[in-house]
């Protein structure tokens, strides 16, 4: 099968990749993505002027650097430098590996210096309910009218009153097509082939994604709050666990490319670069459906530099900026104007932009209220056993 598109892939830094290591590493080691964005990164490096405008032209109200808390690989040096060239605002970036990690830090007061964060859809709802997000002054946002209809008033944040959608994608399975003669068409493939795949497959280290997929495989909602359904999902995942090499949300790429793994549950934004590296590896969204996620840009109520935050959000709403980011980072965009600017090789890629028929079978992850205690209890039992 030919490569899906020709750009050089980037494997080391991914949507859910998190830099781990010593304090020295956290302070200064660069992630190996396009420009080497470190997890604490300044945008001091200069960049050539861009069509977005002259340096400092739009930052009249911003004061001091902009601190951003985001997923790894959601910004790179090129993006940050382009923003600085336009506004004159320096940017510092910290990264997190899960919505729950981000929330815990914000709740503990460790995120008071951040003016922009990137929670996923269900976490936006939760943080709004907790009073942690600023309600936008829509007069200060430019480009909301360019969003695709389904993101004009999403269920997780009606009217985008507290969040701006930044990216979206799916969760599915990536597998070695030379070693596995039959494609994993649906979630049941994991249980039907657990002996052949024993210790050579992984599932995400993510309670909502993995238990959600198991619930879905049983015909239940990703967001079930029924104790009996959650018990059934727990027992089904417990049945599969001996065949799993691990629960892993990042770092599986090298194992898959090296042959240690034959299959991994993965986010589309991580899987696509692997399929570009070697078309032996194929990404599939289970035929019965999966999860579809949206990551957003928000301003926390504790933001010390809301002016710069609005500048950053408006910059990323620019269709040209959004389209170029998609080309480099391989996530789908909710920006209709940006999508219109993408080359056909991206638009026709079913991994990046699945059919509406398939998306109709998918489900967004939503808050589950008090049932999260059951999710967490079962997850702890499974992962610690």
Return averaged pLDDT per consecutive 10 residues of the chain, 385 residues in all. Answer: 32 38 30 34 36 40 86 86 96 92 96 97 96 98 96 95 98 98 96 98 96 98 98 99 95 95 96 92 98 98 98 98 91 96 96 96 95 97 91
CA–CA separation, 211 vs 5, rounded Å? 33
Range of the domain at 261: 169-292+354-384
Quick one: pLDDT at residue 62?
61
Q: Decide if 8 is inside a domain.
A: no
One domain for residues 225 and 369? yes
CB atoms within 10 A of CB 337: 18
320 shares its domain with 367: no
Residue 104: predicted pLDDT? 95
Do 154 and 119 share a structural domain? Answer: yes
Please give the pLDDT value at position 250.
82
User: Does 200 lie in the same domain as 90?
Assistant: no
Is 67 inside any structural domain? yes
- Strand ranges (DSSP E) for 146-230? 164-176, 201-203
Tell me, what's the pLDDT at 312?
A: 98
Phi-psi region of 56 (alpha: psi -120 to 50; beta: other; left: phi over 0): left
44 is in an annotated binding site: no
62, part of any domain: yes
Task: Give whole-number Cα distances, 226 to 55, 198, 240, in Å.
Answer: 54, 30, 21
Q: Is residue 98 domain-shared with residue 242, that is, in the same domain?
A: no
| In a shared domain, residues 312 and 265 | no
164 and 84 in a common domain:
yes
Could you give the 3-state DSSP secondary structure of residue 262?
A: coil
Residue 209, annotated ligand binder? yes
Q: What is the spatial distance between Cα 79 and Cα 66, in angstroms, rounded to a whole number?
A: 14
16 located within any domain: no
Do residues 134 and 265 both lie within one domain? no
Nearest to 332 by CA among 285, 286, 367: 285
* Domain presence at residue 256: yes
Tokens (6 digits) for 92: 């510092």
| 3-state SS, residue 267 | strand
Q: How many residues does the chain have?
A: 385
Residue 208 is assigned to a ligand binding site: yes
CA distances from 265 to 132, 200, 221, 365 (A): 31, 12, 18, 16
Q: What does the pLDDT read at residue 38?
A: 38
Whether 162 and 225 share a structural domain: no
**CATH number, domain containing residue 223:** 3.40.190.10
Question: Is there a domain that residue 5 lies in?
Answer: no
Is residue 258 in a domain? yes
Q: Let me know if 317 is exposed, middle or buried by CB neighbors in 10 A (0-12, 13-18, 19+).
A: buried
Tell me, yes or no, whether 335 lies in a domain. yes
Domain identity same for 374 and 250: yes
Q: Into how many domains does the chain fold?
A: 2
The pLDDT value given to residue 61: 55
183 and 276 housed in the same domain: yes
Q: What is the pLDDT of residue 230?
A: 99
Q: Is 12 exposed, middle or buried (0-12, 13-18, 19+ CB in 10 A)?
A: middle
Identify whether residues 308 and 363 lie together within a single domain: no
């Amino acid at each position: 099968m030919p490569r899906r598109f020709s750009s050089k892939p980037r494997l080391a830094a991914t949507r859910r990749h998190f830099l781990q290591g010593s304090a020295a590493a956290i302070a200064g080691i660069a992630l190996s993505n396009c420009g080497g964005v470190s997890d604490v990164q300044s945008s001091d490096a200069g960049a050539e002027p861009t069509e977005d405008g002259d340096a400092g032209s739009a930052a009249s109200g911003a004061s001091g650097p902009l601190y951003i808390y985001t997923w790894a690989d959601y910004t790179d040096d090129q993006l940050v430098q382009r923003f600085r060239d336009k506004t004159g605002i320096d940017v510092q970036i910290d990264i997190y590996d899960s919505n729950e990690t981000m929330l815990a830090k914000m709740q503990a007061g460790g995120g008071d210096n951040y003016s922009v964060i990137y929670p996923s859809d269900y976490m936006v709802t939760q943080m709004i309910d907790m009073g942690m997000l600023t309600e936008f002054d829509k007069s200060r946002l430019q480009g909301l009218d360019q969003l695709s209809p389904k993101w004009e008033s999403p269920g997780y944040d009606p009217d985008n009153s507290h969040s701006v959608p930044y990216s979206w994608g799916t969760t599915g399975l990536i597998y070695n097509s030379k070693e596995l003669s039959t494609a994993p068409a649906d979630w049941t493939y994991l249980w039907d082939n657990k002996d052949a795949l024993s210790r050579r497959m992984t599932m995400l280290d993510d309670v909502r994604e993995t238990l959600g997929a198991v619930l879905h495989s049983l015909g239940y909602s990703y967001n079930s709050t029924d104790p009996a359904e959650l018990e059934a999902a727990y027992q089904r995942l417990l049945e599969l666990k001996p065949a799993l090499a691990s629960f892993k949300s990042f770092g599986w790429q090298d194992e898959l490319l090296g042959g240690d793994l034959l299959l991994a549950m993965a986010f589309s934004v991580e899987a696509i670069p692997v399929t570009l590296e070697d078309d032996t590896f194929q990404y599939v969204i289970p035929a019965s459906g999966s999860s579809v996620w949206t990551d957003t840009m928000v301003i926390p109520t504790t933001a010390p530099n809301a002016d710069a935050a609005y500048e950053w959000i408006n910059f990323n709403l620019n269709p040209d900026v959004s389209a170029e980011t998609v080309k480099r980072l391989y996530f789908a965009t909710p920006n209709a104007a940006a999508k219109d600017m993408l080359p056909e090789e991206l638009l026709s890629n079913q991994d990046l932009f699945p059919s509406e028929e398939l998306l109709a079978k998918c489900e967004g992850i939503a808050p589950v209220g008090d049932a999260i205690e059951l999710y967490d209890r079962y997850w702890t039992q499974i992962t610690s056993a």
